[in-house]
Amino acid sequence: MSASNSAARVGVWLIGARGSVATTTVAGCAAVAAGLHPPTGMVTETPPFAASGLPSLASLVFGGHDVLDCPLPKRAEQLAAAGVLPHGLPAAVAAELAAADAEIRPGGPVAGDTRGPDEVISAFARDIQDFAGRHGLDRTVVVNVSTTEPAPTGTSLPPSSLYAAAALRAGCAYVNFTPSTGLHHPELADAVAASGLPYAGRDGKTGQTLLRAVLGPMFAQRALAVRAWSGTNLLGGGDGAALADPAAAAAKNAGKERVLADTLGTTPQGVVHIDDVPALGDWKTAWDHVAFDGFLGTRMILQTLWQGCDSALAAPLVIDLARLALRAQEAGFRGPLGELGFYFKDPVGDSPAALGEQYAALLRFAGRLRDGTAGAGAEAGGAAAPEQPAAREAGC
């Protein structure tokens, strides 16, 4: 199979397209493509991926769905005022922000919407197809970057699953960067299997769980007995408000707990508390307290403190995932892309839990993209039990 034409124009359709993560993604991609900033945090810009045929940053065309009406240029100015984006960057990439904003369509369903699920899915799919047609795009990937919703109840499709179903109907690869249900709804299992489209997720691994994926294997490999592992998250913004809901917080914590169980071989005592602190805005603090036993039962403690900007941590991963998923679809990969587990708390398909092993799998995937050895990503299909739907970012 020939290498990808990295100059071909390809689409990135963002769910939650006017939120902080999406705005930082669009602005950041434009800034790096123009040489205004280095590609810090973008794994796909490191040497192992140079010959993998990934689409160039300049070839990415952005659009999306959102229920908000705050224009991207204005949202970018707000993020710059908060220190999330560099001062002056919104003005430097104003044209790119405006172009992406012009391609954002109303999301939903909103209160009073009388359409049935199939009508909503069809409308969303038409939006994506019209976007691809207007720009002459070779392929489009749908990426969910909206705020977490509580787990759905009953059999009705939550918003995230409506968007995910629209991606399938439009023939697009799909990435779920949230802990939301998306394709993981029983009602979509047959459609997922029949589509043969590549997909990846769930829940981007940006901070606290990233550390856990490194530290958990360390304790296991050194034969140290972890007695308890507790944590606290302080965050504001749309995620802080959404995760104030205990059901949404439980959904978020499921991935954090899975990493410990998978890397330690057991589930230690302790929980993660998530506190909404609106004054923090897009910034978050994550603290972990690890109690463990050493030789002869000597009791010891490790504490970690992670302070970062969620959008700046997430945006380079979103760009990486969009490029990898687009290339995977071009190369003929099908079904769950377990090789992208490096980026997620709760990855689809077969993926190790330790970060080092996940990185090795990602490098092997880069080699397969380079050599054109596709086949099924792991196995086609793979819809699982429902968890949480994707929601909306906080507004202006």
- Could you tell me the residue ranges of all domains in the chain? 10-204+312-371, 208-310
Q: What was the pLDDT predicted at 151?
A: 82
Contact 390, 182 (CB under 8 A): yes
Phi, psi of 87 (to 5 degrees): -60, 135
Q: What was the pLDDT predicted at 152?
A: 85
Q: What was the pLDDT predicted at 391?
A: 36
Report the CATH fold assignment for 208-310.
Answer: Dihydrodipicolinate Reductase; domain 2 (3.30.360)
pTM summary value:
0.90
Angle ∠(35,27,286) on CA atoms, nearest 5: 110
Q: What was the pLDDT predicted at 384?
A: 37
Dist CA 374 CA 173 (whole Å): 15
Q: What was the pLDDT predicted at 385?
A: 34
Which listed CATH number (3.40.50.1100, 2.30.180.10, 3.40.50.720, 3.40.190.10) goes with 10-204+312-371?
3.40.50.720
Ranges of residues in the chain with a pLDDT under 70 are: 1-7, 240-255, 375-396
Q: What was the pLDDT predicted at 243?
A: 63
Q: What was the pLDDT predicted at 15?
A: 98
